[in-house]
């Protein structure tokens, strides 16, 4: 990293830490995500250069993945037998959320087909931006609309869960933390598996690497305990900073339309996702806090971290978001090609 990048990183972390401290003091739900995301966003929009480098976000993804894996028990695996209907609703939810947002952006805001479709994707931001670059969509508008959605969900989902009194009384992860040598070995193994997943183009490779190693070691009895809070809290703060840093250097005036469009789309998809979550809970008996987070179209890593922080079933939430991303990977090129054909006709 260059000296200016190091300075930007230090400033980002300091602002994020300040936001986390204030949010914690004010008793916000998920304060270590909400506080940094909000403060870093405002600072970025004010013109500050703020960054979270790739290596740091990767470490955080690994830690969140390990934390998710510690909640997987034989009882959880047994409970997963009741999830097929919930998994099926992921496909339904993706299609409904995608086209609802698409019509809002195309008809309500006048975006072209490609830009509206890509900006409407309920997640998988890096993949969507790559597709946009390949087919010629408005990358700036797509990025802003998608980032507004991620930020808004990060801020609102914990508030909704807290407001509806859906936070579980006790966390699902083991209370005793892993020792420093053990967690170091687990992190190293998770990073190695993450690199393997990356080689085969698996989405959220390092988060899933952490999940895989953590599940394997905990179920086998080789390792027991949770991720130490002195590691997990900084990881949450960094993820919050990462969300906020997406707005660094964004010209507010030129992108006003994209900001408004992103806000409107977020309201629409959150309302639809909430209805789907309530339906799934009514049909399966699954806890509403878990279904709300599982069907919220936010980033995989952010929603996984939120599930852990809000004491929801992180395994259930993570499985649904991974399925959503995998489906989007296949589905988005299909709908873009179909739309292109319709235009030609």
* Three-class HEC string of 59-113: HHHHHHHHHHHCCCCHHHHHHHHHCHHHHHHHHHHHHHHHHHHHHHHHHHCCCCH
- Rounded to two decimals, the pTM is 0.74
How buried is residue 284: exposed, middle or buried, by Cβ count under 10 Å (0-12/13-18/19+)? middle
In this predicted model, which residue has the larger pLDDT, 68 or 175? 68
177, β-bridge pairs: 226
Contact present, 134 and 250 (Cβ < 8 Å): no
H-type alpha helices, the chain: 3-25, 31-45, 54-69, 74-79, 84-103, 113-120, 125-135, 139-163, 180-199, 205-220, 229-245, 256-284, 288-295, 300-309, 314-344
Instruction: Name the percent of the chain lying above pLDDT 90.
Output: 30
Say what the pLDDT of residue 343 is.
36
Handedness of CA 334, 336, 341, 345 (dihedral sign): positive
Say what the pLDDT of residue 105 is.
93
Terminal CA-CA length for the chain: 50
User: b vs e for 196-215, b when ≥16 Cβ sit within 10 Å of the residue's Cβ?
Assistant: ebbeeebbbbbbbbbbbbbb
Say what the pLDDT of residue 254 is.
58
Contact present, 39 and 15 (Cβ < 8 Å): yes
Say what the pLDDT of residue 339 is.
54
Spatial CA neighbour of 15 closest among 46, 39, 47, 41: 39
Mean pLDDT score, 256-282: 91
How buried is residue 193: exposed, middle or buried, by Cβ count under 10 Å (0-12/13-18/19+)? buried
Give residue 344's pLDDT band: very low, low, confident or very high (50, 70, 90). Answer: very low
pLDDT at position 213 over 90:
yes
Mean pLDDT score, 279-303: 86
pLDDT, tens only, 135-155: 767 777 887 888 888 888 888
Give residue 170's pLDDT band: very low, low, confident or very high (50, 70, 90). Answer: very low
CA distance 294 to 39: 26
Report the C-alpha dihedral over residues 157, 163, 164, 170, rounded to 10 degrees: 80
CA distance 204 to 198: 8
Query: Which tokens go with 329?
Result: 């990977």
Mean pLDDT score, 187-212: 89
pLDDT, tens only, 42-56: 898 888 899 999 899
Say what the pLDDT of residue 165 is.
61
pLDDT at position 345 over 70:
no
CA distance 5 to 18: 20
Mean pLDDT score, 219-228: 87
Say what the pLDDT of residue 146 is.
82
| Mean pLDDT, all residues of the chain | 83
How buried is residue 127: exposed, middle or buried, by Cβ count under 10 Å (0-12/13-18/19+)? middle
pLDDT at position 133 over 70:
no
Say what the pLDDT of residue 12 is.
95
pLDDT, tens only, 14-51: 999 999 999 899 888 778 888 898 899 889 888 889 99
pLDDT at position 248 over 50:
yes
Query: Which tokens go with 84?
Result: 């097929």
Say what the pLDDT of residue 342 is.
43
Mean pLDDT score, 61-90: 82
Mean pLDDT score, 328-344: 66
In this predicted model, which residue has the larger pLDDT, 57 or 130? 57
Give residue 11's pLDDT band: very low, low, confident or very high (50, 70, 90). Answer: very high
């Amino acid at each position: 990293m260059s000296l200016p990048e190091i300075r930007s990183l230090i400033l980002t972390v300091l602002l994020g830490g300040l936001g986390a401290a204030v949010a914690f003091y004010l008793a916000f739900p998920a304060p270590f995500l909400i506080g940094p995301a909000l403060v870093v966003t405002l600072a970025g929009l004010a013109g500050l250069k703020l960054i979270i480098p790739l290596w740091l976000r990767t470490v955080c993804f690994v830690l969140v993945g390990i934390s998710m894996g510690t909640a997987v028990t034989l009882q959880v695996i047994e409970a997963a037998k009741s999830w097929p209907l919930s998994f099926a609703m992921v496909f339904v939810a993706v299609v409904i959320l995608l086209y609802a947002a698409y019509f809002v952006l195309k008809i309500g805001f006048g975006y072209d087909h490609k830009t509206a479709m890509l900006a409407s994707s309920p997640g998988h931001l890096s993949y969507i931006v790559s597709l946009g670059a390949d087919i010629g969509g408005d990358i700036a508008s797509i990025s802003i609309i998608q980032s507004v959605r991620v930020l808004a969900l990060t801020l609102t989902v914990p508030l909704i869960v807290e407001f509806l009194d859906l936070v579980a009384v006790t966390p699902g992860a083991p209370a005793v933390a892993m020792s420093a040598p053990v967690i170091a070995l687990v992190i190293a193994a998770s990073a190695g598996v993450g690199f393997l997943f990356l080689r085969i183009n698996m989405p959220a490779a390092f988060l899933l690497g952490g999940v895989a190693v953590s599940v394997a070691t905990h179920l086998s009895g080789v390792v027991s305990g949770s991720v130490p809070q002195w590691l997990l809290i900084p990881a949450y703060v960094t993820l919050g900073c990462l969300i906020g840093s997406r707005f660094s250097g964004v010209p507010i005036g030129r992108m006003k339309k994209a900001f408004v469009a992103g806000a409107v789309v977020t309201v629409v998809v959150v309302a639809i996702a909430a209805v789907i979550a309530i339906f799934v809970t009514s049909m399966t008996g699954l806890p509403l806090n878990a279904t709300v987070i599982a069907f919220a179209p936010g980033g995989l890593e952010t929603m996984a971290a939120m599930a852990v922080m809000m004491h929801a079933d992180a395994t259930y939430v993570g499985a649904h978001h991974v399925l959503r991303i995998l489906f989007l990977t296949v589905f988005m090129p299909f709908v873009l090609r179909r739309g292109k054909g319709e235009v030609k006709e």
